[in-house]
Structure 1
Amino acid sequence: MRPLAVISGGGTGIGAAIAQGLSADGFDLVLVGRRAAPLAETASKLDGANTVVADLRDPGSAGVLLEAVGDREVGAIVNNAGGYLGRSGDDLPEIARQWRDTFDTNVMTAVVLTETLLPRLRRPDGRVILFSSIAAQRGGGGPYSAAKAALHGWALDLAVQLGPQGVTVNVISPGYVAETEFFAGRMTPHAHQSRVDQTLIGRAGSPEDIAQT
């Protein structure tokens, strides 16, 4: 039987590229996200891919995740869901809302998916992957940077917990990946070039670069 991978944020960008790579490597897939259309579009191009429309900020999504997995063992949990959330004002309630929503979007989505599927994770040789950001080390994103940094500490705790069972836990921190919804409509030519100039290879990363990591 083909191994199974579950990917959050699997409909677009880096998540879709990961799905394509794992499918080529012989994995069946469960792609999870909040929007049905991009999930369905990506899944339609892949063998053995199913989709789950769920909001992973809500622990109540655990039931639909378990239903999608059924009685199968999960070989890899890929936590790719997340994003930057702005705010509409500088009053304290709005600042607090932005922080809470950002942590829900970038941290709780990973917690809900991982903790839901841990009992089904293959032991040994299971994989847990968390997507952080270069902003976790460099800052510059306020609550987004802080939320992504939180994943690193949690990953270490998971590694200590699961390592003796033969499970690896890794954090990937992409830099500037231009071809993603994260940057869609936000980058001027000057801002794009400024980010490219900070790279060592003189170009923006691609979703495929990250998927091959």
Structure 2
Amino acid sequence: MTRVVLVTGGGTGIGRAVAARFVAEGARVVITGRRADRLEAAVGELAALGATGEGADEVRDAAGGQAGGRVMSVVCDAADPAQVAALAARVGALDVLVNAAGGLPEPRPAVTGTDRDGTGGAEGERLAGVRYQWESAMAQNVLTAVLTTAAFEHRLRPGASVISIGSIAAERRGGSYGAAKAALAAWNAFQSAALGPRGITCNVVAPGYIEATEFFRDGLTDERRALLIEETHDKRPGTPDDLARTVFFLASAGARHITGQTLHVNGGAHTTR
């Protein structure tokens, strides 16, 4: 039976590479994200990989959005409960859920004089910025996975896989982003215990430095890039395909007894025992 796969944050970077790996397998893949133009472009790119054939109409009818062969897109903010609920109702049953939506905290919108409450002064404004940063990190990197998984919990077929994208930042120097990714791993262990009796596995794949993504928003210096590569044992940056291959394995028959785990894919930059 053809598998149905949902990849949140599937328009770029790691999410797009994961989608491509499942499309190549012949799965029916739904990608989501907040930017319609990026999703539409990704559908075209993935369709060009040869993802055509029977089943495209069935996927389009089930979920709407842009379609191209076996892959299609739905605009959805995975941190918005209403949008996630609508997505689940349209997509239906899943074999694989990949929670790849996430990213660095978004900057706080500029505060005008009319927006100030006048009680906290400059220190109050500073702390409001701290709060905004942490809430943004949690919303993007934890709530996106929690809400999407909760929405599809009863739509996951027996033997399904839930795979979430974590980060090496959960282990060191992570700030609000790292704390959010650490919370994601703790939630994953809980979710694994809850879904395990149905034969559903839940795991986190935690990358180190991965090139060819939008993660650093063009803010990575040559010196910082060199340092991140030097920290690895194999002296190379990771690629989105490195992550995609690991995700694909965790959704395979060979990984049915692997659940509740965080798998580090970082070239040895962070090691475990």
TM-score (norm: length of structure 2): 0.73
Residue of structure 1 equivalent to 2:65: none
User: Residue type matched to 2:169 in 1?
Assistant: A
One-letter amino acid matched to 2:190? D
Alignment of structure 1 residues 1-213 onto 2, 5 Å: 1-44=1-44, 45-46=46-47, 47=51, 48-70=70-92, 73-85=93-105, 87=107, 91-123=126-158, 125-138=159-172, 140-213=173-246
Preserved contact between residue 52 and residue 68 of structure 1 (Cα < 8 Å): no
Q: Could you list the runs of 5+ residues in structure 2 that have no partner in the other structure? A: 52-69, 109-121, 247-273
Equivalent-residue separation in structure 1 for 2:17 and 2:78 (angstroms): 20
- TM superposition shift of 1:188: 1.1
Structure 1 runs of 4+ off > 4 angstroms?
A: 86-90
**TM-score, with normalisation over the residues of structure 1?**
0.93
The answer (yes or no) to whether the contact 1:11–1:39 under 8 Å persists in 2 is yes
- One-letter amino acid of the counterpart of residue 75, structure 1: D
What is the number of residues matched between the two proteins? Answer: 209
Shift of 1:64: 2.7
- Alpha carbons 2:76, 2:84 under 8 Å: kept: no
Paired residue secondary structure (2:104): coil
* Rounded Cα–Cα distance in structure 2 between residues aligned with 1:127 and 1:167: 6
User: Runs of 5+ in structure 1 lacking a partner?
Assistant: none
Alpha-carbon offset, residue 163 of structure 1: 1.0
